[in-house]
Amino acid sequence: MIREANDLDKIPILKFCKDTFSWGDYVDQVWDSWLTEGNLLLFEKQFPVGICHAFFSEDQIWIEGIRIDPNFRRQKIASKLVKHAESIGLEKGVSFSFMLIDTENTSSHSMAHSLDYDIFQTWNFYSLMPKRNPNYDIYFEKSLNRQLFSHYVKSWRWLPIDDATLSTFYEQNKIVKSYVDGKNSIAILTDSEHFDKTLIVTLFSGSQNTTLQIISFLQNYGMKKNYERIQILTKEQLPLFDLLEHRISFHLMKKSLV
């Protein structure tokens, strides 16, 4: 009943994904990428009725894109897909599983809790429009304490930070730091792998003043680099700022597999 998806599954899956959210869905834009990466799991009842994608990195599995045909919900199909993904992770020797759930999505939270997932952290998503803004004071960090920063966001996946990743970030000036009055804020910059001209920022805010410095930099950086949109993920509530908009909040769910 659960198998790997293939090219022929795209059309029937997208038919029931198009109205997932009030604004539609993004599965049509990431389907080909997920298919290439593998572990795009499909639940079939004579025809496809559910999907789930699993992405493996370091010692964790990232579960995303759970979609169930509305006509087949409340049949624990999502739970079966997640359990199947976890079983693959166990075979690979993975210790942890993570997923991201909208704080207001009670049905998904119920499903996650039934599978022994707990709320690990709560994150906020802000959008920031690029704009010329030269009023900032930042520098590029070249020595990040991994004990304080365990994960960063890449294409909406919370991935572990390792030495190789940090080395690349240092070389490419992808870690931005602001330091004011003994406090600092850090931002890690990545390009979206699925959406063109989209900058994804993992922001660790230490104070309002340092955060404002980094937001000003991001706005100007986005304009200089011709980004069309800037997506900021942070655990903190950000201060009011021109063209900065809070979009949604998420719970980062975590489960130990061992």
- pLDDT in the model for residue 53: 98
Kindly give the interhelix angle for 106-114 and 77-91, rounded to the nearest 10 degrees.
50
- Of the three residues 74, 94, 114, the one that is the final residue of a domain is 94
**Alpha helices for 92-195 (secondary structure H):** 106-114, 163-171
The mean pLDDT of 196-225, rounded to a whole number, is: 96
Model confidence band, residue 145 (pLDDT cutoffs 50, 70, 90):
confident
Is 11 inside any structural domain?
Answer: yes
Last residue of one domain, picked from the residues 75, 94, 113? 94
Residue at 119 is within a domain: no
Q: Are residues 64 and 140 in the same domain?
A: no
Domain edge (last residue) among 43, 75, 94:
94
Mean confidence (pLDDT) of the chain? 94
| pLDDT given for residue 71 in this prediction | 92
Query: Above 80 in pLDDT, residue 22?
Result: no
Tell me what pLDDT residue 55 has: 97
On whether residue 73 sits in a domain, the answer given is yes
Per-residue confidence at 161, pLDDT binned at 50, 70, 90? very high
pLDDT value, residue 150 = 87
Higher-confidence residue of 24 and 215: namely: 215
Is residue 24 pLDDT above 90, yes or no? no
Range of the domain at 62: 2-94
Q: Could you tell me if 9 and 42 are in contact, meaning their C-beta atoms sit under 8 angstroms apart?
A: yes
Mean pLDDT over 198-218 rounds to: 97
Instruction: Encode pLDDT of 81-91 as tens digits.
Output: 999 999 999 99
Instruction: Check residue 146 and give its pLDDT.
Output: 81
- Same domain for 174 and 236, yes or no, is yes
102 lies in some domain: no
The answer to the question of residue 108 being in a domain is: no
pLDDT value at residue 27: 92
Query: Do residue 58 and residue 135 come from a single domain?
Result: no
Q: What is the pTM of this model?
A: 0.93
User: pLDDT grade, residue 219 (50/70/90)?
Assistant: very high
Looking at the structure, tell me whether residues 83 and 143 fall in a common domain: no
What was the pLDDT predicted at 240? 92
How many structural domains is the chain composed of?
A: 2
- Residues 163 and 205 occupy one common structural domain: yes
Q: Do 53 and 164 fall within a single domain?
A: no
Helix, strand, or coil (residue 35): helix
Of the CA atoms within 13 Å of residue 1, those in its CB half-sphere come to 9
Instruction: Specify whether 131 is located in the same domain as 87.
Output: no
- 136 with 224, same domain: the answer is yes
| 131 and 177 inside one domain | yes
CATH number at residue 8: 3.40.630.30
Contact 131, 243 (CB under 8 A): yes
**Residue 137 to residue 18: CA distance in whole angstroms:** 43
Tens digit of each residue's pLDDT (9 = 90 or more) over 43-102: 999 999 999 999 999 899 999 999 999 999 999 999 999 999 999 999 999 999 999 999
Burial class of residue 128 in the structure, from the number of CB atoms within 10 Å of its CB (0-12 exposed, 13-18 middle, 19+ buried): buried
Same domain, 89 and 131: no
Q: Are 145 and 77 contained in the same domain?
A: no
Once rounded to an integer, what is the mean pLDDT over residues 246-253? 97
* Residue 51 and residue 156 in one domain: no
Q: Which residues contact 72 (CB under 8 A, 6 or more apart)?
A: 45, 49, 50
Look at residue 164 and tell me whether its pLDDT is greater than 80: yes
Is 90 exceeded by the pLDDT of residue 209? yes
Q: Over the Cα atoms of the chain, what is R_g? A: 19
pLDDT recorded at residue 20: 77
257 belongs to a structural domain: no
